[in-house]
């Protein structure tokens, strides 16, 4: 596909101050190995942290961080939760200032083909199941979606405010 998620974080702060999370289609199970793969690139190289939030809103660590380069590349990481009910996959990037892009996100239980990330290729142009914390700098994901058609140079902006905040963008 042609669409991907474009994320901008203008200021490096505490790592936890820049997070997006995806509500998974089913909860992660304790002791089950999972495989996450995606394509990404960044304005400048940085380490992306991946956390899981449980149904009880507890952050769980232990997924190896991923070093994102400044060129499109394929990434994959495997992990086995030692907890039950992991319901959200978090992308954590508050320590990084700049833009980065991600696409083709696939999270599967080892030996299975069902992707637990709905619209992981962002081809619908929607950010359904993607959320951010209310105290983060951008207003809400739905207000920050921008579909950019390169060929026609047409922008469909739905910003409530034109101030420079962190933004979540889908490019085509």
State the pTM of this model: 0.80
Closest CA to 41 of 99, 122, 107, 125: 99
* Dist. CA 172–CA 158, nearest whole Å: 16
pLDDT at residue number 2 = 75
pLDDT, tens only, 52-103: 999 888 899 989 999 999 999 999 999 999 999 999 999 998 899 888 888 9
pLDDT, tens only, 126-156: 777 887 765 555 423 333 333 322 222 222 3
52 SS3 class: strand
């Amino acid at each position: 596909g042609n669409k991907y998620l474009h994320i901008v974080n203008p200021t490096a702060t505490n790592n936890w101050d820049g997070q997006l999370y995806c509500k998974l289609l089913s909860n992660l199970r304790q002791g089950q190995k999972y495989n996450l793969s995606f394509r990404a690139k960044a304005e400048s190289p940085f380490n992306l942290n991946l956390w899981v939030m449980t149904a009880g809103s507890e952050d769980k660590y232990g997924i190896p961080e991923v070093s994102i380069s400044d060129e499109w590349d394929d990434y994959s990481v495997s992990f086995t939760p030692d907890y039950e009910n992991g319901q959200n996959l978090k992308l954590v990037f508050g320590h990084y200032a700049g833009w980065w892009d991600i696409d083709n996100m696939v999270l599967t239980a080892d030996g299975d083909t069902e992707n637990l990330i709905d619209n992981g290729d962002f081809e619908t142009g929607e950010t359904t199941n993607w959320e951010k914390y209310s105290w983060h700098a951008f207003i809400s994901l739905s207000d920050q979606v921008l579909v950019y058609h390169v060929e026609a140079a047409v922008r469909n902006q739905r910003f409530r405010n034109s101030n420079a905040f962190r933004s979540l963008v889908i490019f085509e």
